[in-house]
Amino acid sequence: MRWRKKLDLYLALIRWDRPAGWLLLLWPTLGALWVAAGGFPGWHLLSVFVLGTILMRSAGCCVNDVADRDFDKHVKRTAGRPVTTGAVSVKEALMVGALLALLAFALVLTTNAITIGLSGAALAVTLAYPYAKRYVSMPQAVLGIAFGMGIPMAFAAVRGDLPPLAWLLMLGNLFWVLAYDTEYAMVDRDDDLRLGIKTSAITLGMWDVPVVMLCYLAFISIWTLALGGYVQGTLFYVSITVALAQVMWHFTLIRARTRDGCFKAFRLNHWLGFALFAGIAASYAAQ
């Protein structure tokens, strides 16, 4: 049926079959939500941030595919995307993205003024990111800001203010995004060099693997030190140990810089985020 085929194209556009993307945004956001609330934040805020994260990541995919459509057709991994092939028009993709962003904004309207204001900043950075790779040598840093906006939004929604802890956790999360999105960029390095696209993998050159490892360690260290006075109990430190073990596993996956190894490392990153969130949630539950 025609409508079913169109629906399948729209689901492919928003990467519905690849939940790793929105999980990378979700876990640190939920971790911040739990810390801000001192435990379970309630079903209302949990629903707002889970659904809002999925909707905004999906909207971001629409904008990204429109912005990169002329590049994607020359890259092995992205040549089959719906906008690139013409199966979904630019107008359609932008309309789908706008609808999803409006639905996310409707959710934010049920919170407070500070959170609503931050959502506008988050949208602006999301729209800017696809174009950053044309001008910025480390566009992954722009993505890190976009992906970290859920953290101060979570604190604002729960507390009505923005404590230094929110920005510190966002800084730590920025290092995590730099780590996993550099792994992602390592997959397409050959194609990006040929097309003249700027990425952290290209900028770092042979320093890519050591810098990725340092970024992972910076992320975990910042979150561990920042949350030490808030998240009590052994379970949190068990989750830190599990996260560090995953970092070492990632080193084994990316050290040879193969496409398959780097892509696998990127796809599995959400488990590292889940480990930290699980430690935070379990620690509050055990108190």
Residues of the chain with pLDDT under 50: none
Residue corresponding to tokens 């399948």: 8
C-beta separation of 139 from 178 below 8 A: no
Question: Which bin fits 29, alpha (ψ -120 to 50), beta or left (φ > 0)?
Answer: alpha
* pTM score of the predicted model: 0.93
Q: φ and ψ at 149, to 5 degrees?
A: -65, -25
- Max alpha carbon distance in the chain (Å)? 57
Q: Is 233 exposed, middle or buried (0-12, 13-18, 19+ CB in 10 A)?
A: middle
- pLDDT for 5 equals 79
Nearest to 170 by CA among 194, 144, 192: 144
Query: Which two three-digit tokens encode residue 103?
Result: 């639905």
Tell me if the domain spanning 2-286 has CATH number 1.10.10.10. no
- pLDDT for 1 equals 62
Query: Which two three-digit tokens encode residue 12?
Result: 């492919």
Q: Per this entry, what is the length of the chain?
A: 287
DSSP state at residue 287: -
Nearest to 100 by CA among 125, 126, 77, 79: 126
Summarize pLDDT for 222-273 with one digit per residue, the tens.
Answer: 999 999 888 888 999 999 999 999 999 999 999 999 999 999 999 999 999 9
How far CA 170 is from CA of 17, 145, 286, in Å, comes to 27, 8, 25
- pLDDT for 138 equals 87
Range 56-80 burial, b when 16+ CB lie within 10 A, else e: bbbbbbbbbbbbbbebbeebeebee
DSSP state at residue 75: S
Summarize pLDDT for 194-209 with one digit per residue, the tens.
Answer: 888 888 999 999 999 9
d(C-alpha 61, C-alpha 14), whole Å? 5
Residue corresponding to tokens 């995004």: 177
In 3-state terms, what secondary structure has residue 89? coil
| Amino acid in position 177 | V
